[in-house]
Chains A and B, each alone.
Chain A
Amino acid sequence: METMIKAENITKSYTMGKTKLDVLRGVNLTIEKGRFVAVVGASGSGKSTLLHILGALDRPNSGSVFYQKQNLAGLRWGKLNHFRNKEVGFVFQFYHLLDELTVLENVMAPAMASAGLLGWMSLKSRTRERAHQLLERFGLKERLRHKPYELSGGERQRVAIARALINQPPLLLADEPTGNLDSRTGHGILEALKGLHDEGQTIIMVTHDERIASQASRVIRLIDGKVQE
């Protein structure tokens, strides 16, 4: 299978006062295109840190991340922004929606981010149509004009997934997407992710819940900063 993303000997440590905390101690992993991978580990095991590094939201202290054979460390600002905008979609545990925008605008935000005023004129109708489709798919058709703070946790997370998918990124990264939801709502989110995977979407999901991880096609365990499959 074609490799989507590959991490080689990733290390990451944080300094808290005089204490140095090694979070990742030489992580190696390869994730193929079309897989639904769950990264499992105890709280503080470095799951989220690894996901942030894979999505270029953070940098490792050493080691390299290759996305479709391209080293992310070598990307300049513009390419890095392009990578975050077009190649990956991020779903956070705490949704991270923009309160000043409506549900529809939040979903369209990544498309707007890469378009100038004039470019947006030509993109607008296509993006709006896709945002409508995504929101309809996730059962949020009636919530288009609502603000994020007017939605429930599950609805917000579905908006976040729709936002992550608006630019049709090859890779979806989800950081504890059900961590802040009750089990019924969390199940709904998981079903949505599985549905996306069934359509061929590559997904890397971080979770501490073994039951949720078991739904993935591959489980990677992170113990003491190292990968054990």
Chain B
Amino acid sequence: MIKWLLAWRYFFKRPISILAVTAVALCVFIVLVVMTVMNGLVRDFKQKNHDYAGDCIIASDSLVGFGYYEELMEFLQKQPTIEAVSPVVRGVGLLSQPGRDWNMGVEVHGVDPMLHSQATNFAETLYYRRENPALAFSPMYAPQADGCILGIDLSPSYRQPDGSYAHAPQPGQYNLMLSVFPLNIKGGLQRSIDMVSTKTFSYSDDSHSGLVKVDGMVVYVPLEQAQTLCGMDIPIKRISSLHIKFQKGVSQRASVEEVRQRWNEFAAQNASRPGGDLFANVRVQSWQENRRSTIAPMEKEQTMMTMLFLMLGVITVFIVFVVLYMIISHKSKDIGILKSIGISLSDIVCMFLLFSVYIALIGVLIGSAAGWAFLYKVNDIEGWLYEHYHWQLWDRSVYAIGKIPNKVEMDVLASIVGSAMLACMIGAVVPSLQAARKRPVQSLQVNQL
């Protein structure tokens, strides 16, 4: 009984307990905030990549692409696990403006806007035609003209300091010239027609995927026109990749494996047809595999941050340990008194464990509540700081980050709370065990460390 009473009294009567509670609360606060923001950034980034790529990609490593995709699409769409398939042509080109003396290297993506919106979140990245992606290549100001969609950082819509983009009610009337080197089926230049295919498009919309390399590099044009520009319409119509969306609830890994098998069957059946040798360059990948080069650096950064905060956690554990060690060392005399009246070693350890649990519980509660409140208001706080001091955590004109992620994940919170509790308990067990093992007379002679 006395262990409960004394643990409680130690907690309330010792000012140093407040220091221990503060250390725990600060640790929980910092780790919760940083882990939430960092995990949120990585999660958002992965989600954007997933949205951009779809669930699975059948892609050629070569710019020449691969043929018979319509038959492949038909074949795949019969699979019950597949919801949508979108063919994409990829090429590199030069973007310029008639009458203007500038140009820039871009990636040309040829897509069917409807199919691509079914297989990826393409429609949601659009601004003017978000509700009606079928008209994405039809400029509002000239519906019959051939339209193109610009990655938002290529478009006239400019980035505002808060990370959003200012748009006019209608897309501005711009004509843009796209020059592409068409390649023949062997990968050489199609000299028989022209060295360069050039076509003028009207700016119809912009696409904001949230991925810097996509938003700053990609120009979307209609699939057939991209095939013509890139020379992928002769002798057989070709594409660079097929983006696949699986039905909801199916296993991603199993479905990718199934697509891989279907592709192998398809490639084997059609290998002898003209252009069948191009199948050798084709790979079936999950979206994670396909976007690995983009995601990996971010994950590395997350790992580094986790390591840094693990070190911070270790330091905090040490601080908590030292505080508890000091408290318990100052209680050596009490331990001696308690042993002289017959309290057991396990009861003494249990008493200090209880004491540390009080510290941990209160610290965790304060730290979690403060962390949650800070995260809840973090975007408002940043907005206020920008308004009054022009300070941003991430300069939105540089980083493609919208709002600071602030959704607290329960598993992260649980692991932080668990670690804090464990740290406090370890911090209490070691010195109390050490003190309790002494003979009572030794403890009574030690007033303090």
Contacts and interface: CB of A to CB of B under 8 A. Distances in A.
A113 B341 contact: yes
B1 A110 contact: no
A101 B1 CA distance: 13
A113 B2 contact: yes
B298 interface: no
Contact of B341 (A58, A84, A99, A119): A84
B345 interface: yes
B333 A96 contact: yes
Interface stretch (B3-11, B108-116, B318-326, B417-425): B3-11
Contacts of B342: 81-86, 110, 113-114
B352 to A, nearest CB: 13
A55 B340 CA distance: 9
Nearest to A113: B343
Chain B: interface secondary structure? helix
Contacts of A99: 13
Nearest to A119: B1
A149 to B, nearest CB: 11
Interface string B329-353: 0000110111111111101000000
B1 A96 contact: no
B6 A101 contact: yes
Interface string A64-103: 0000000000000110011111100010100011111100
Contacts of B4: 117
A61 to B, nearest CB: 13
B428 to A, nearest CB: 17
Chain A: interface secondary structure? helix
A116 interface: yes
Nearest to B443: A57
A92 B336 CA distance: 12
Nearest to B440: A57
B336 A96 contact: yes
A117 to B, nearest CB: 6
B390 interface: no
A98 B340 contact: no
Contact of A110 (B5, B10, B334, B341): B341
A100 B10 contact: yes
Contacts of B344: 77-78, 81
A163 interface: yes
B444 interface: yes
Contact of B340 (A78, A84, A100, A115): A84
A89 to B, nearest CB: 9
Contacts of A83: 342
A59 interface: yes
A81 B348 CA distance: 12
B279 to A, nearest CB: 75
B439 interface: yes
A91 B419 CA distance: 43
Contacts of A96: 333, 336-337, 340, 444
29 contacts: A55-B340, A57-B339, A57-B439, A58-B440, A78-B344, A81-B342, A81-B343, A81-B344, A83-B342, A84-B341, A85-B342, A86-B342, A90-B340, A92-B340, A96-B340, A98-B338, A99-B13, A101-B5, A101-B6, A105-B5, A110-B341, A110-B342, A112-B1, A112-B5, A113-B2, A113-B343, A113-B347, A116-B1, A119-B1
Interface of A: 52, 55, 57-59, 77-78, 81-86, 90, 92, 96-101, 105, 109-110, 112-117, 119-120, 163
Shortest 6 CB-CB contacts between residues of A and residues of B: A85-B342, A100-B9, A120-B1, A112-B2, A84-B342, A110-B341
